[in-house]
């Protein structure tokens, strides 16, 4: 990668692209182009090999059966794990988030092995499904403004000792464990339950990934008026009494 070029990989759009999560790729591309960065986008379907030379990998949500198929193929392929070992950045949503952990419950009610890229494991919640707007505070270490998103999941994700919660919720369920955590991250791998798509609501997450991939501390400013209007609207919706 040169200082002004990025390779962005959209993983399995044929299986994991639910609830508009492809919007994350579009926002990331847009934020890069606004900084005059050259972006090569690769949409890698589930019958194709995962390249190991990407800089940023994005994974979306999906239904239970496509999630199982995606996990099976990613395990066999091994390319995503090798890319992370090479220093690549990964951002995952919902089903993709669960796949990056040690295990989750698949559509057959069985434990399904994940990729082990995040120190988390997911179970099936026994209560009501987690659905609705979420507002939270992203880990201060990441230096980002409050998180807004939309969750729709039955899964409950538990964090191990080497995973930090991506955010702490003010409103909503997040990981579903009742401890106020939402998502998880380590140095280069991020997971969240937030749809929206989450980067349209939180463009600074896209900027964070760009900075990590480029190994820079700051990016040139861009016009955020559209994003700010959307953020303010959704934050207000989350804080309205039911």
**Known catalytic residues?**
94, 195
Helix, strand, or coil (residue 152): strand
How many Å apart are CA 235 and CA 34, to the nearest integer? 25
Q: Strands 38-44 and 5-11: what pairing?
A: parallel
- Scan for tokens 């008026």, then name that residue: 225
Residue 134 β-bridge partners: 149
Reduced to 3 states, what is the DSSP secondary structure of residue 140?
Answer: helix
CA distance 62 to 152: 11
Question: Sign of dihedral through CA atoms 31, 34, 40, 44?
Answer: positive
Contact 41, 26 (CB under 8 A): no
68 carries a ligand binding annotation: no
Decide: residue 134, CB within 10 A, 0-12 exposed, 13-18 middle, 19+ buried: buried
Query: What's the rounded Cα separation, in Å, for the pair 46 and 66?
Result: 10
User: Which residues are documented as binding site for substrate?
Assistant: 129
User: Which residues are documented as binding site?
Assistant: 129
């Amino acid at each position: 990668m040169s200082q002004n070029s990025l390779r962005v990989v959209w993983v399995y759009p044929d299986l994991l692209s639910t609830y508009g999560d492809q919007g994350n790729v579009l926002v990331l591309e847009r934020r890069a182009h606004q900084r005059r960065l050259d972006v090569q986008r690769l949409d890698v379907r589930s019958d194709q090999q995962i390249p190991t030379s990407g800089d940023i990998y994005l994974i979306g949500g999906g239904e239970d059966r496509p999630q199982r198929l995606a996990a099976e193929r990613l395990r066999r392929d091994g390319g995503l794990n090798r890319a992370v070992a090479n220093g690549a950045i990964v951002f995952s949503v919902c089903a993709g988030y669960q796949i990056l952990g040690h295990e989750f419950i698949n559509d057959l009610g069985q434990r399904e092995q994940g990729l082990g890229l995040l120190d988390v494991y997911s179970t099936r919640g026994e209560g009501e499904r987690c659905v609705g707007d979420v507002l939270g505070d992203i880990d201060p270490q990441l230096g980002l403004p409050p998180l807004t998103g939309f969750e729709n999941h039955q899964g409950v994700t538990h964090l191990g000792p080497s995973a930090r919660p991506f955010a702490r919720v003010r409103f909503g369920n997040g990981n579903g464990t009742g401890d106020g955590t939402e998502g998880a991250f380590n140095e280069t791998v991020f997971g969240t339950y937030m749809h929206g798509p989450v980067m349209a609501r939180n463009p600074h997450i896209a900027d964070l990934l760009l900075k990590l991939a480029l190994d820079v501390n700051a990016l040139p400013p861009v016009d955020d008026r559209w994003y700010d209007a959307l953020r303010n609207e959704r934050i207000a919706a989350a804080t309205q009494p039911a």
